[in-house]
Amino acid sequence: MQKNAALESAFIAGISSDIGRELAARLVTEGTKVVGTQRTKSADIPRAHLIDCDIASKESLSSVASAYQSSGSAPWDLYVSSIGTLDPIGPFTEVDTDAWRQSVEVNCIRQLELLKALYPLRRKGMAHVAFFAGAGTNGPAPGYSAYAASKIFLIKMCELLHAENEDINCFIIGPGIVRTKIHVQTLDAGERAGSNFERIRGFLVSGDPGVSHDRIYKCLRWCVEAGRDTVGGRNISLVGDVWDTRGSELAGALRQNPDAFRLRRQANDLLR
């Protein structure tokens, strides 16, 4: 691994999200030049350059690359996409089709378009790309079909981007449950959220801190330092994998198993 790999410049799509803001603050503290997009002028991140961008708008999206160049930042070493919406929540057959389609666009397609636009501005040699996975990766997430399907889309795209581009270390992290404002959407959905409504409401009132932003940042750094040959194209579970306690051992095992932590059918040899 590259211990304490230097990151001169980072781009964060969705810097005004809770996770985006916290990652930016930690990167800035380490001396990284940070540029990020905000949908509304709500981010308060000292020493970070903010670009207004509503990712749901193609017109807004198209101006980000030129704005990044105008910021005077060096080519980015790290690209982080921290954008997401749970809406529309409810059974697929009952939610508004246009809202469902727009959710898929925001949760994956537009994020990939933004990466494509920023790709020419990356650090030549090796740059790192991080997405975040979510509910529905390992089982159904009833009522959250647009969000869950989008995350599966991103998991596969990380594998494809890894296979197609030898100069990027592209990975996706499943952070577990984090105390962020996204949970308000579940509370607002009420019974449309099914059993997840009580689960989330119970979590929010329990005092359980959930996964800390420090752990998210440490997992991100581990993936950067582990490098492309170890985590490239893979889905890393922050709470389920031993990156923090047996990181070297895990890295070695991943390098020995090219199919691990990817989107694969299980029991392919059943009855063969």
How far is the C-alpha of 54 from the C-alpha of 208, rounded, in Å? 32
User: Which domain does 37 fall in, by range?
Assistant: 9-177+212-255
Burial class (CB in 10 A: 0-12, 13-18, 19+), 138: exposed
Confidence of residue 265 (pLDDT cuts 50, 70, 90): confident
How far is the C-alpha of 152 from the C-alpha of 172, rounded, in Å? 10
The alpha carbon of residue 187 and the mean position of all alpha carbons in its chain are separated, in whole angstroms, by 23
How far is the C-alpha of 107 from the C-alpha of 147, rounded, in Å? 7
| CB 81 within 8 Å of CB 134 | no
Q: Is residue 266 part of a domain?
A: no
Q: Is residue 242 part of a domain?
A: yes
Which of these, 145, 140, 133, lies nearest to 101 by C-alpha position?
A: 145
CATH of the domain at 151: 3.40.50.720
Q: Is residue 184 part of a domain?
A: no
- Taking only the tens place, the pLDDT of each residue in 64-95 is 999 999 999 999 999 999 999 999 999 999 99
Provide the whole-model pTM: 0.95
| Mean of pLDDT over the chain | 94
Q: How many domains are there within the chain?
A: 1
